[in-house]
Chain A
Amino acid sequence: MQDNSEPKNIERRRFIRNGMQLALAGTLVGVAALSVKKTRASGMVWQIDPFKCVQCGRCATECVRMPSAVKCVHAYNLCGYCDLCGGYLKPDPNARSTAAENQLCPTAAIQRRFIEDPFYEYVIDENLCIGCAKCVAGCTSFGNGSLHLQIRHNLCKNCNECAIARVCPAEAISRIPADKPYQIKGGFRKTPAKDKG
């Protein structure tokens, strides 16, 4: 083997470089091919399945946004328009009124309005709602479950991995196609339970 043979040295280095370059290009093509089989043109967004939600309160505390991009929404079609609303009033209200001490919501984000005897309308003020699900818990256990949580896409940053989904105890948050970005109760049906065990 000759020492210091300039051209040979450079030639060898170039040969190794070109070979490695080709190998790396091949790897990239391979990864691309593996992935391309399953790509989807439309994006995915995060959303809550309200039928899986257990109102753990983490939507309010774990979202990267403050306040959370999760808000309570109201499926009016399911609402009983009750006077004694389990989502609006504390379980032991002094009176069925709009007095702050009787409200369940920690930020008073639910507005109650009299329609006609005996019906009352409840509307969520999303600017105040923090997504804590306290009203959802009340409505689901005492009422019809017309109040439920949804991720609002005008607020959601669509993180690569949703910080709430990571800790959701019911695994209720999943990626769904961006062209149908909501799972609002009433229109959206509960998926039939697969586990019978």
Chain B
Amino acid sequence: MNRFLKYIFFLVILAFGTVNSMAAESKQRFPKPEFATGYSQPNTTAPAARFQLLEYLDVTVLLAVMLILTWLVLKKRSRRGVFWVSAFSLLYFGWYREGCICAVGSVQNVVLGIVDPTYAIPVTALIFFLLPLIFALFAGRIFCAGACPLGAIQDLIAFKPIELPKWLQKVLGLIPFLYLGLAVLLVATKSEFIICRYDPFVGFFRWDAPFHMLVLGILFLLVGVFVARPYCRFFCPYGVLLGWMSRFSSHHMKITPSACIQCKLCANSCPFGAINEPVAETGKRRSNVYRLMVYFLVLPFWIGIGGYAGSKMHVQLSRFNRTVYLADLIIEHPEVKNDPNNIDVRTFMSLGKSMDKLIAEAVVIRKQFETGSLILGGFMGLVIGMSLIRLSTFRKREDWEPDQTNCLSCARCMPYCPVKE
């Protein structure tokens, strides 16, 4: 009830557009002049922020879109339906909501919420993070199919998709892992939100962006003409999480509604290279299992190399944190302390914080980076090791099946299948 009243209050503010911010509670610091001509002083206006209730509308829309998509992909098997839903998502989450709030960036909010005791994550951001993952855990990457505005805008311009060589797909497929790891590291050290900083399409949604970001967006779209959804496949850090969920999802979409007749008609229908061909197991099973075990034994070696390489990088990485950067700068170039044109150093000096305190803070943050880069490096080692294992082992497969990790559930392959229920 109380909250309801609050909303009414906000509505009133919204209606009038301005608030008299000069609250009566605090007395003026210094009395203003007395005017003889009866001059009345204007109020300082304070246009209201976006109406809070609308944020919950966003969540509702997301849930509705996800449910409809799940039905369209799994039950209706309708590519056309998925297309129109994704067009709606592009309009709503893209142009109406201007790219914020977004599940891709919410990864950072969740991490910050966990590591930073002063930051409380908004409920809406948490739901935007969880909802697509929960759906992916049961039904695959439904979110990518038609709820993500970033995916939708790329989907629209994939006019002439070509198939990239498998090795290249594998190599480029490592980038999202690195991007995710780096993003988590930089958030966990309270440095910055790189996922949002390099969101290439948000400028189109807002019709407004710094020049280099606009260029970046155009470049991604140009690549997207030939390589379907380049951001989703080779950059999106949230896609990594979705891929993990989707990999083990229990009700992932199938290409055929019933039994595959091995007609190969679907083979070239996927612009994302996410359809696996049938594979027959070669060689003796025992030796295959033995080889797999050897690979797994080598895995810690990969992690070790990665961790070592990562920890070598920690000094460089830690300079992406402002405090460390400033401390390093002042230590290496003490003369900047007297440079009147270096605004950052001058501001630091005038804040009255001592050099010792800055260095102490920088040391703590660098320590965090040391641990973080070790973990990041180890993680990348693990990822590389695992993808090598997947490359060199066979998994017996009799039918044409979607690669559950990379399949975006877009339903393009379905119309190609001649089998009807």
Contact = CB atoms under 8 A, between A and B. Distances in A.
A81 interface: yes
Interface residues of B, number: 83
B32 interface: yes
A127 interface: no
B333 interface: no
A42 B248 contact: no
B123 A40 contact: yes
B208 A65 contact: yes
A28 interface: yes
Contacts of A76: 32, 41-44
B418 interface: no
A140 interface: no
A40 B41 CA distance: 37
Query: Which residue among A25, A45, A123 has the maximum number of chain B CB atoms within 10 Å of its CB?
Result: A25
B188 interface: no
B347 A54 contact: yes
A25 B249 CA distance: 10
Q: Which range holds the interface residue count of chain A?
A: 35 or more
A163 to B, nearest CB: 8
B36 A66 contact: no
Contact of A154 (B30, B47, B55, B114): B47
Interface in B235-284: 244-245, 247-250, 281, 284
Given A17-B248, A160-B108, A77 B126 contact: no
Contact of B114 (A24, A35, A54): A35
A153 B47 contact: yes
Interface in A53-82: 54, 56, 64-66, 73-81
Interface stretch (B63-71, B192-200, B379-387): B192-200
A87 to B, nearest CB: 15
Interface in A90-109: none
B124 interface: yes
Interface string B49-88: 1101001000000000000000000000000000000000
B122 A43 contact: yes
Contact of A160 (B47, B105, B285, B352): B105
A46 to B, nearest CB: 10
The 10 A-B pairs of least Cβ separation, nearest first, read A161-B193, A154-B47, A153-B49, A169-B347, A20-B248, A40-B120, A169-B344, A184-B21, A187-B23, A181-B49
Given A184-B44, A186-B44, A197-B352, 6 more contacts: A40-B122, A43-B52, A153-B48, A157-B206, A182-B46, A184-B22
